[in-house]
Amino acid sequence: LEVLNGRLALEKERRAPEASRIRTQDLELLNNNLEWVNRLGSIVNASLDWNQIAHSLFDELKTRIPLDSFGIARCPGEQVTLEEYVRVEATGIATVPSRDCPRICTLVRQASSDRVPHQVQDNEGSLLAIPLILFDEVIAVMFAEKNRGERFDETHLSMLEAVAPVVAASFKNAESFTAL
């Protein structure tokens, strides 16, 4: 038993530097992600012009998530009647009629009514929709899109979910400012 305990102690001692290195890497990654979410908060709170916020957000999201377009769809009231949405691409910002992309509209409605993220991956690409919830109300849905090829993974979903509350508050502030 003493020999076995001695071997276990030696093995634990041998693995300690590796465990410490892994712990340090995990903490550095967590700190890096927290700094990024904080930077995103600063970006989305720097303006009350929603188009400017959306464009800045798209530019920053692209540094961490490979995406081709990003958008926000307003979801007023209990029933989602999506007539148009804001879509940001590398070429600029556009307000798009819902009839132009039923695929996005379907996913936005699902995310809004279910109050959880939804994802679709098909021949057209990968699309991820995250509900923006503020005071227990879905006020909008943000979506990220990749064209053919690459797919969103769990890391991308986690990053978008992490920034959703900040984006929701900024979206509501900009919307309230516009109403005033």
pLDDT at 84: 65
Give the range with max mean pLDDT: 68-72, 73-77, 175-179.
68-72
Question: Tens of pLDDT along 8-35?
Answer: 888 888 888 887 888 888 888 888 878 8
Q: What is the pLDDT of residue 130?
A: 92
Q: How confident is the model at residue 79 (pLDDT cuts 50, 70, 90)?
A: low
Output the pLDDT for position 78. 55
Distance CA 98, CA 91 (A): 20
Digit-coded pLDDT (tens) for 98-132: 777 777 878 888 888 888 988 888 877 888 999 99
Q: For residue 76, is pLDDT > 70?
A: no
The listed range with the strongest mean pLDDT (41-50, 84-93, 133-142) is: 133-142
Residue 134 has pLDDT above 80, yes or no: yes
DSSP 48-104: S-HHHHHHHHHHHHTTTS--SEEEEEE--SSS----EEEEEETTEEEEEEGGG-HHH
Whole-number pLDDT of residue 173: 82
